[in-house]
Amino acid sequence: MGKMRLIREAYGTTEGFCLVKSAAVRTDVKGTEYLDMVLADSEGECVAKLWNYSRITHGEYDANDIIKVRGSVQVWKDTEQFKIDRIRKANDGDDVDMSRIIPTAPFDPQEMYDELYNTAANFADEDLRRIVQYLLRENREELLIFPAGVKLHHATRGGLLHHTVSVLHLAQRIAELYPNLHKDLLFAGAILHDIGKIKELDAGALGIAGAYTNEGQLLGHINVGMAMIAAAAEITMIAPKTAMLLEHMILSHHGKPEFGSPRLPMIPEAEVLSICDLLDSKMYEMDAALDGVSKDGFSERLWALDNRQLYKID
């Protein structure tokens, strides 16, 4: 990562909000406690120290706390670190801009959510409209913040909506070329294909996925999504055949068994969805890998892309 915005240009006293990535109380050679932290914002991270630390005076801090700090940048053994003079946890009155603290999707989450909801509102198929809008409403709070992964593509606050909208846009363009596709089924599958991730990922209130839930580890988001659609189909009382086709879209959207799909796509709409999902994930990973690479240069080898190096066109 790069430098934190807070310290990037600051060598005098500065203050601002940031995220605690780790915090530990340690003891120096004189037996005095100090707070050893790694702080971060959306642009980078740094080591920080609070000397002469007192739990009573300064409070206690854990990973994923949002804090306000004041201090200065120092250099120790050729490495920058932030010397904390004042520290406190952020509160509701601070009105913190989370996009400056946490890597965040580049589009407003409410606008992305509204686009998905309004797309479903225009479905000619009443059953698909009802079940898609029901699942969007029931999971709105999670959708507005959840990432699409822990480390790989769209692993940012709001990344799940970002990925979903991108897949929907791809499906919409492809549907213009192939008029025989059942557009409502294709678009419904695009909107719901990763709905199970809100139960697969342990993202917390900040929308940062540090791990998988037990449900995610044991079942995976495809199986979880299937169960969510099956339950919603009963509540919304849609036709069993419609529910079955939508479930197949979810079941097969990774394309191949080695990628996690229990079934290969067996209808054209499912094939298109699997292609759109794979394309968007790869384009995101490639863009991220090439960010910061100089023109006419190569990226590092990427495990997620078959250990390839990518070349940045001059």
Q: Where are the domains of the chain?
A: 13-98, 103-290
Q: What is the mean pLDDT of residues 202-221?
A: 86
> Which are the contacts of 95, defined by CB distance < 8 A and separation ≥ 6?
none
The CATH class for the domain spanning 13-98 reads mainly beta
Helix (H) or strand (E) holding 66: strand 66-76
Q: Taking all residues of the chain, what is their mean pLDDT, rounded to a whole number? A: 90
Which phi-psi region, left, alpha or beta, contains residue 178 (left: φ > 0; alpha: ψ -120 to 50)? beta
Same fold, 13-98 and 103-290: no
Helix (H) or strand (E) holding 134: helix 126-138
Give the separation between CA 129 and CA 297, rounded to whole angstroms: 47
- The reported pLDDT for the residue numbered 10 is 55
Full-model pTM: 0.85
3-state SS class at 55: helix
AA letter at 71: G
Decide if pLDDT at 5 tops 80.
Answer: no
Residues 262-292 pLDDT 10s: 889 999 999 999 999 999 999 988 888 888 7
Beta strands in 42-115 (DSSP E): 44-50, 66-76, 79-89
- The reported pLDDT for the residue numbered 205 is 80
Decide if pLDDT at 9 tops 60.
Answer: no
Residues 131-177 pLDDT 10s: 999 999 999 999 999 999 887 788 889 999 999 999 999 999 999 99
Whether the Cβ atoms of residue 197 and residue 136 lie closer than 8 Å to each other: no
Assigned CATH topology for domain 103-290: Hypothetical protein af1432 (1.10.3210)
